[in-house]
Amino acid sequence: MYLLSKDELTSLTTRRPGWHVSLFMPMHRASIETQQNPIRCKNLMREAEIQLLDSGLGTAEVQQLLEPVEQLLDDYSFWQHQSDGLALFLSPHLSRSYRLPLAFEDLAVVAGRFHVKPLLPLFTGDGRFYVLALSQNAIRMLECTRHSARQLELEDVPPNLAEALKYDDPEKQLQYHTGTQTTQMPGGAGGQAARRSAMYHGHGVGTDDDKVNLVRYFRKVAQGLHDVLRDEQVPLVLAGVDYLLPLYREANAYAHLVEEGITGNPEGLRTEELHEQGWRIVEPLFAQQQAEAAAAYKRYMGTGRASNDLLDIVPAAYNGRVDSLFVATGVQQWGSFDPDTQEVRLQQEATPENEDLLDSAAVHTFLNSGTVYAVTPDAMPDSTPIAAVYRY
């Protein structure tokens, strides 16, 4: 199982010889329903097998290509530990599986390049966000989508104020008293309860020394989150008591920190409660951004700043001209694009040499720092499966 990052996405989009199989499916996470997970995967794999055989590939070649998934079907533990969605990628050169916090529609795509359009909502646009729960005693980070939330393991983040500053400025007369006690942390993985509880003893809450040390603590937290957030362009919502939130903002270096926060002691809130309150904050932001992009598309149509012509959008996306792109999910348009001649050719069927041009336009828009809205066909701003607003 691999972690999906921008570098991983770039690797998946690299063209290599041969057929590429992309499988997407929603997953059950608990109870007896998890038994449906391998059945769903097997059905999609058979669908891919038919497509490969119809393309002219021999039975032995098809079996060899699909073998990594075939082995997973009997791995009980793999299917018991899933997120909301599963993405599988198979080619003669590469096999990847990703547990992801997004409930995909069932989809099997066989083409000359991996199909990654369903992954893009996890990177830009459609409802992905973080919640950072702050207190002097503990830090929690949640990765959330519209429908799900999971707590991240934060290896490089100090667990509390005392641990963050215990080696700093020993000459200062600031004392930390740490006593081991059992504290139930709502939302903790596996019900983990043993935590160190730190009480800060200084000159009283709100003094200059308190503020300086809290900012130092939060700077260490922000630095530790750098690897988690460095490629992200999604909202980050803070949760904490009133006086802590502005102090973290002072230490923050992440560009997409949301102004509104979840106020109150987050140690008393379960993951589900933090997710619900965080979604209330970011939902209007997502809706506003998408509505503004759709309005810009309609405003610029006919001026050269917007287009729904795939032949025009594909090279524009490759060259970094697309600022925002709407693309329909569950729809493919096969063809090829030559970066040297900038020529786009449309074709009726998938081959090892071509690709889904809708997917290609979405990928290059994202890689060139544009915003992609992968939406259902009925949510498109026009009656076409693709619509773009250009930067120039």
Q: Which of 70, 90, 115 is the last residue of a domain?
A: 115
Strands (E), 152-288: 175-182, 194-201, 236-240, 262-263
**pLDDT at residue 234 is higher than 60:** yes
For residue 64, the model assigns a pLDDT of 95
How far is the first Cα of the chain from the last one, in angstroms, to the nearest whole number?
A: 40
pLDDT confidence band for 2 (50 / 70 / 90): low
For residue 124, the model assigns a pLDDT of 63
Residue 293 lies in a domain: no
Co-location of 279 and 134 in the same domain: yes
The average pLDDT across 231-253 equals: 92
C-alpha distances in angstroms, 203 versus 206, 209, 384?
8, 7, 64
Distance CA 266, CA 270 (A): 8
The structure tokens 């992905």 sit at: 128
Secondary structure of residue 46 in the 3-state scheme: helix
Give the closest residue to 389 by CA, choosing from 310, 314, 311, 293: 293
> Which strands make up the sheet holding 334-338, listed edge to edge?
343-346, 334-338, 355-356
For residue 180, the model assigns a pLDDT of 40
Lowest mean pLDDT among 146-150, 204-208, 244-248, 340-344: 204-208
- Could you tell me what percent of the chain has a pLDDT over 70? 88
CATH of the domain at 26: 3.30.960.10
pLDDT confidence band for 160 (50 / 70 / 90): confident
pTM of the model: 0.70
The structure tokens 């369903």 sit at: 118
pLDDT in tens, 178-227: 444 433 444 444 443 333 333 343 333 456 778 888 999 999 999 999 88
The average pLDDT across 377-385 equals: 95
Count of domains for the chain: 3
Contacts of 338 (CB under 8 A, 6+ apart): none
Residue 57 lies in a domain: yes
Co-location of 220 and 310 in the same domain: no
For residue 179, the model assigns a pLDDT of 40
pLDDT confidence band for 237 (50 / 70 / 90): very high
**pLDDT at residue 24 is higher than 50:** yes
User: Residue 107 belongs to what domain range?
Assistant: 6-115
Residue 313 lies in a domain: yes
Q: Which of 115, 148, 183 is the last residue of a domain?
A: 115
